[in-house]
């Protein structure tokens, strides 16, 4: 698949043969239509923030559901979705912060485009419960 891949400090390439993401049973496969670039991406590119290369950059993603894992719920193929930049990493939300409803403070938080591959690619796989359906009347570009 085609992706914007960061290989090191100021080493960003557009690769056309990067492996498509492997889905877990609770994941959905999203065809990324739009992904934001922000100061986080700039900091990664400039080498101010450590990361493990190669890394697909980009977060704040809007896209279309292309496939659904066996245990994924609440979405259908073709749904329009948005994906937050950060979501809890303890999938069963067992850490103290998640149990208190403070999922933004999860000690195992996943930061898309930093700790895991981001949305500046044709596809991204994410847990279905952290993917939010939007009306098809809302432009994905907004």
CATH code: domain of residue 33? 3.90.180.10
For residue 139, being part of any structural domain is answered with no
Terminal CA-to-CA distance of the chain, rounded, Å? Answer: 25
Structure tokens at 3: 């992706």
Share of the chain above pLDDT 70, in %: 99
Longest CA span, the chain? 43
For residue 32, being part of any structural domain is answered with yes
The angle at the Cα of 9, spanning 8 to 10, to the nearest 5 degrees, equals 105
77-121 pLDDT, tens per residue?
999 999 988 888 876 678 888 888 888 788 888 899 998 999 999
pTM for the predicted model, two decimal places:
0.90
For residue 142, being part of any structural domain is answered with no
For residue 21, being part of any structural domain is answered with yes
For residue 25, being part of any structural domain is answered with yes
Range of the domain at 33: 3-134
For residue 97, being part of any structural domain is answered with yes
Report the domain count for the chain. Answer: 1
């Amino acid at each position: 698949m085609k992706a914007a891949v960061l290989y090191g400090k100021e080493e960003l390439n557009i690769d056309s043969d990067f492996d498509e993401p492997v889905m877990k049973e609770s994941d959905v496969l999203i065809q990324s239509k739009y992904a934001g670039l922000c100061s986080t991406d700039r900091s990664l590119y400039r080498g101010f923030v450590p990361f493990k290369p190669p890394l697909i950059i980009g977060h704040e993603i809007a896209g279309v559901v292309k496939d659904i894992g066996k245990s994924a719920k609440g979405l259908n193929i073709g749904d329009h979705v948005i994906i937050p930049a950060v979501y809890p990493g303890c999938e069963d939300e067992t850490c103290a912060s998640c149990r208190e409803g403070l999922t933004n403070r999860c000690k195992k938080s996943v930061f898309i485009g930093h700790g895991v591959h981001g949305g500046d690619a044709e596809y991204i796989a994410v847990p279905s419960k952290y993917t939010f359906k939007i009306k098809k009347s809302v432009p994905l570009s907004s």
